[in-house]
Amino acid sequence: MHNDTQAITGLILAGGRGSRMGGVDKGLQSFHGLPLALQTLMRLQLQSLPLQEVLINANRNLAAYESLGAPVWPDSIDGFAGPLAGFLTGLERCETPLMLTVPCDTPLFPLDLLERLLAAMKAQDADLAMAAAPEADGTVRPQPVFCLLKTELHESLVKFTQSGGRKIDAWTAQHRCATVPFDLPGDNPQAFSNTNTLAELQQLEAL
């Protein structure tokens, strides 16, 4: 482990089945001429606080993901499609005290994501911090795949998944969780727009 409490690993969640996109591998779809996962990687590298390392969780086309220049790890649990499988894989591989997760299909996420999650985690003495974003109707909804978590939560997540737990919010509810709304005047309302279909991807590109 590193002594530096600020050392943070980033994890790109690209392990999904892309079922709503016709089964294509979402992270490899093009956004402004580059694969979504690469756009995500670049956005992590542009964060206002530096990350020590970035890992990618992917279950298909591993060579294509490896070519993006970050270590790639498939789910460590079989047949468990879902973000918690990615969280678990990341926590197993993470060598820093903290890990930031972002999905591969939300290419406009805020450049101060890490900074604001970390500030809230410290201020509230929380085990994890989660982004929340305004919906079209004005309600602010948690975005649990945008999460900063203590690596020591690994054991808790192993227990939760081994006992059949699958829902991300059921697991985060067991811990002290800080929620950070990204609804300030300067925040991009599209920052957390994710692309489940190719049409949504094209709409986001048109912005």
Q: What is the pLDDT of residue 80?
A: 65
Global confidence as pTM: 0.94
Identify the CA nearest to 14 among candidates 35, 34, 33.
Answer: 35
Question: What mean pLDDT comes out for the span 74-84?
Answer: 82
Q: Which fold has domain 8-206?
A: Spore Coat Polysaccharide Biosynthesis Protein SpsA; Chain A (3.90.550)
In this model, does residue 5 exceed pLDDT 70? no
DSSP-derived pairing of the beta strands 8-14 and 177-181: unpaired
* Residue 2 pLDDT grade (very low, low, confident, very high; cuts 50, 70, 90): very low
User: Which of the listed ranges 128-132, 190-194, 200-204 does the model predict with the highest average pLDDT?
Assistant: 128-132
Half-sphere exposure of 184 (CA within 13 A, CB side): 9
Strand order in the sheet with 72-73: 72-73, 53-58, 8-14, 98-103, 140-150, 128-134, 177-181
Q: In terms of pLDDT, which residue wins out, 115 or 138?
A: 115
Q: What is the pLDDT of residue 136?
A: 81
The token pair at 59 is: 């279950």
In this model, does residue 138 exceed pLDDT 60? yes
Alpha carbon distance 205, 29 (integer Å): 12
Alpha carbon distance 64, 45 (integer Å): 19
Alpha carbon distance 144, 134 (integer Å): 14
**Rg from Cα positions in the chain:** 16
Phi, psi angle pair for 91, to nearest 5°: -65, -30
Alpha carbon distance 70, 77 (integer Å): 21
In this model, does residue 71 exceed pLDDT 50? yes
The token pair at 39 is: 């756009």
pLDDT tens per residue, range 109-119: 999 999 999 99
